[in-house]
Amino acid sequence: MIYLDNSATTHPHYEVLESFQKVADQYFANPSSVHRFGSEAERLLDRSRKQAAQLLSVDPQEVVFTSGGTEGNNMAIKGIALQHQNRGKHLITTLIEHPSVMEAFKALETLGFEVTYINVDQNGEVNPEDIQKALRDDTILVSVMSVNNELGTIQPVQKIGELLKAYPKVFFHVDHVQGLGKIELSVKEWGIDLCTLSGHKIHGLKGTGALLMQKHVRVFPLLHGGSQEAEVRAGTENLPGTVAFVKALRLLHEDHKQKVNHLRRMRTILWEGLMLRDYCKINSPEDGAPHIINFSIPGYKPEVIIHALGEEGIFISTKSACSSKQPDVSAVLKACNLDYERTTSALRVSLSTTNEKEEIDLFLKKLDQTVENLQATMG
């Protein structure tokens, strides 16, 4: 099997699975229980929070463990909007955000909030000046992803954070789900108030993640009940999942530079191979994140190519996994002003550090054969 859909999810590391199983078996007590067994679970949770904070260069009380990207994004966006609506009901985001961000903003519009959706250029990159121009006296939140999940475009998050420092009443949220471990990001230095992370994109487990929330930030909780997670996320903590998430973070930091360099080498091999093929139109920017390349094969439905490659044991995707069963047009590519043929024929290859040159070479060979077979059947 050649797995090239790592932006959708990654294969969990063996050590991550081992951590989960050990904690689920040996520390199954509720961390809120007052007996010794519960206290041991609570200590393990506290230790995990401290380790996560150290790895992410934040304070332990700024780490809220979640079930992943969708919850983190909803918690940040709806939480800020509902908590601070008495100061203003204007929100800003871009046209190329993940569905968990876009749908959260659309839901808030039904509650009377006003959202400005900022355009992007043909590479899917937002201009910080456009965000600055959209700011108003009643703006309370700006939300911009660090890396686009379809194109791999790296957004100018640092510049946006710098300019927003002049607007202390505007909160800045970054969806860093695709960027974690791939690009540098500093929550503290860049003025990021809330930052969403997900475990299953970094060889952790589904249903794990974190929302980094600076000390001064207050959000309206989405879940009410107990006082877990600093009273912003009620519910018995997923201790095995949390320990597994922190283990994935630790493994991510081991030989980090070499891993990113390997990803970049594999992406370059793939990029150069696709450039040689006349039937391909690359949609991703050349200087994008080291793990994603989006390209179109105009005239062919992406699902047909995906299924044909799947028969060969090669797995790629189209669009975001969260929206891949929606209508054909990619909203992200449409926002980049690409023509209809390209927006309806886009494919995404996303790499992990386990992918090797031989796999990319075989993928390109099988892609050629698939297109040749389709051309033959079409006439």
Statement: residue 323 has pLDDT above 90: no
Which residue of the set 195, 280, 322, 336 is catalytic? 322
Statement: residue 364 has pLDDT above 60: yes
- The tens digit of pLDDT for each residue in 20-53 reads 999 999 999 999 999 999 999 999 999 999 999 9
Q: What is the residue-averaged pLDDT of the chain?
A: 96
- The tens digit of pLDDT for each residue in 109-148 reads 999 999 999 999 999 999 999 999 999 999 999 999 999 9
- pLDDT over 70, % of the chain: 97
Q: What is the Cα–Cα distance from 336 to 357, expressed in whole angstroms?
A: 30
- The tens digit of pLDDT for each residue in 295-319 reads 999 999 999 999 999 999 999 998 6
- The tens digit of pLDDT for each residue in 88-103 reads 999 999 999 999 999 9
- pLDDT over 90, % of the chain: 96
Has 336 been annotated as catalytic? no
**pTM for this prediction:** 0.96
Statement: residue 327 has pLDDT above 90: no
pLDDT of residue 324: 45
- The tens digit of pLDDT for each residue in 255-290 reads 999 999 999 999 999 999 999 999 999 999 999 999
Statement: residue 168 has pLDDT above 80: yes
Main-chain phi, psi angles of 361, to 5 degrees: -60, -45
- The tens digit of pLDDT for each residue in 54-88 reads 999 999 999 999 999 999 999 999 999 999 999 99
Statement: residue 328 has pLDDT above 80: no
pLDDT of residue 342: 94
pLDDT of residue 379: 62
pLDDT of residue 28: 97
Name all domains of the chain by residue range, CATH numbers in brackets.
2-9+255-378 (3.90.1150.10), 14-253 (3.40.640.10)
Using 50, 70 and 90 to split pLDDT, how confident is the model at 202? very high
